[in-house]
Amino acid sequence: MIRVGIAGYGNLGRGVESALRDAEDMETVGVFTRRNPASVKTATGIPVYAWSDAENMRGKIDVMILCGGSANDLPTQTAELAAYFNVVDSFDTHAKIPEHFEQVDAVSRAHGKISVISVGWDPGLFSLNRLYGQAILPNGKDYTFWGKGVSQGHSDAIRRIPGVKDGKQYTIPVEEALERVRSGENPELSTREKHTRECFVVAEDGADKAAIETAIKAMPNYFADYDTTVHFISQEELDRDHAGIPHGGVVFRTGTTGLSGEQKHVVEYKIQLDSNPGFTSSILVAFARAAYRMQNDGLTGCKTIFDIAPAYLHPSSPEDQRKSLL
């Protein structure tokens, strides 16, 4: 059994706790938290340790899965824990991946461990489909659409507007754009043509709703480049109808082959998720298996989904994989 620890216990940590129960070859050692351990109660009753206890668990945990956020937690936590364990994180600040990679790689190499960073679906499975698509159809174009799903960043941006009590934002791919790509047309699509944004807003009592709507729609980077709709609803409606964290998206690669590019091909990878953290945590668990096995094979250092042979992810042996999956 692969012994796994969970560092951080928010939505993602709870998802990993659940996903580990579905992994036949893994056992959960416990949760590590920077809060007071006595204040944290886990959903399945697994033990809770203080963050500072992690160092003393060297040799008792094969892989630590980091479940913190990319903005404030992972930039320091992954490298910290990489000194003691094989680690897996979901660092998703695309622009800072090279820097994060270098930092974590140095620690993992120095300690003979494996680290896997930026695991999830984007970065992650979507990246993988962009890479396979480009490698196989060099004469082509790729398209990434996100949604329909909740964007945490955009929801936060809404909630920072004066007069807004609560709110949630859905990113929605434009169906017509999807169909144009699917048809093999290879369109050039503007930001506005690819996605729309839908906001559900709870206003404070007496707030100026028209001013809120204008403030949302005019917000640069977040909303100004999109067709945005704003719905004002009650807190009860928000809690009842928008409690989930669904998400999804599509990666396309369209391209041509043949001596004069006469053969068109369309490759489409699409996900529809009831729960973004539920799915992401399941991916993290599969890559924890890979991290453990790679270290057993004598490998060290930082890896991304691009560097990991798919066989490492699946619980069955390479022989069984060739027999029943290939």
Enumerate residues 181-220 that contact a copy of itself by CB under 8 A.
182, 184
**Nearer to a copy of itself by C-beta: 163 or 187?**
187
Among 3, 113, 130, 293, binds a copy of itself (CB under 8 A): 130
Q: Using the rule CB under 8 A, give the single segment among 80-88, 157-165, 198-206, 279-287 that binds a copy of itself.
A: 279-287
**Nearer to a copy of itself by C-beta: 219 or 308?**
308
Is position 70 an interface residue for a copy of itself (rule: CB under 8 A)? no
Please spell the DSSP secondary structure of 98-133, one letter per residue: HHHHHHHHHHHHHTT-EEE-S-SBTTBHHHHHHHHH
Residue 290 CB-density burial (10 A; 0-12 exposed, 13-18 middle, 19+ buried)? buried
**In contact, 30 and 50? CB cutoff 8 Å:** no
**Nearer to a copy of itself by C-beta: 75 or 278?**
278
Distance CA 245, CA 200 (A): 14
Among 139, 234, 235, 296, binds a copy of itself (CB under 8 A): 139
The phi and psi torsions of 300 (rounded to 5 degrees) equal: -140, 170
Q: Scanning residues 235 to 264, which ones bind a copy of itself (CB under 8 A)?
A: 257-259, 262-264
Q: Using the rule CB under 8 A, give the single segment among 13-21, 154-162, 163-171, 186-194 that binds a copy of itself.
A: 13-21
**Nearer to a copy of itself by C-beta: 91 or 223?**
91
Is position 93 an interface residue for a copy of itself (rule: CB under 8 A)? no
Read off the tokens for 159. 């909630």
The phi and psi torsions of 83 (rounded to 5 degrees) equal: -75, -20
Q: Scanning residues 288 to 317, which ones bind a copy of itself (CB under 8 A)?
A: 289, 304-311, 313-315
* Residue 100 CA: distances (Å) to CA of 73, 76, 97, 274: 12, 9, 5, 30
**In contact, 89 and 280? CB cutoff 8 Å:** no
**Nearer to a copy of itself by C-beta: 8 or 124?**
124
